[in-house]
Amino acid sequence: NAGVTQTPKFRVLKTGQSMTLLCAQDMNHEYMYWYRQDPGMGLRLIHYSVGEGTTAKGEVPDGYNVSRLKKQNFLLGLESAAPSQTSVYFCASTSLGRNTGELFFGEGSRLTVL
């Protein structure tokens, strides 16, 4: 059981380049999330999705876009990367049937923007 899988795990970009992070879950979860983790700031929500074809902004959405074309996949895009987007990105998912809202996390994608 793979759970939540993120690709790539590491990436180095130059300022202004674009890239997409892919999150895939095999648990048939309705809700999916993208967080970023920075030292001393915990995890901050970027965007989230409550179902296929729907997305919404989280706490720090600027500079990012997302898409949820398939229920199992949630893509995070950076159109023009900036050094401030150097971070570790985590995808998470949960199910409507789990009324405790426990999130299941991927192992993270470490992005460096030079």
Which residues have C-beta within 8 Å of that of residue 74, sequence separation ≥ 6? 23, 25, 32, 33, 34, 49, 66, 67, 68, 91, 93
Question: Residues, the chain, total?
Answer: 114
Task: Assess 61 for contact with another protein (CB under 8 A).
Answer: no
Is 93:33 a contact under the CB 8 Å cutoff? yes
Q: Which of 20, 27, 44, 60 touches another protein (CB under 8 A)?
A: 44
Which residues have C-beta within 8 Å of that of residue 1, sequence separation ≥ 6? 26
Taking the complex as a whole, the smallest distance from the CB of residue 8 to another protein amounts, in Å, to 15
Task: Assess 71 for contact with another protein (CB under 8 A).
Answer: no
Of 18-26, 41-49, 66-74, 75-83: span binding another protein (CB under 8 A): 41-49
Binding positions for another protein, rule: CB under 8 A: 4, 31, 33, 35, 40-45, 48, 50, 56, 58, 90, 92, 94, 96, 99-103, 105-108
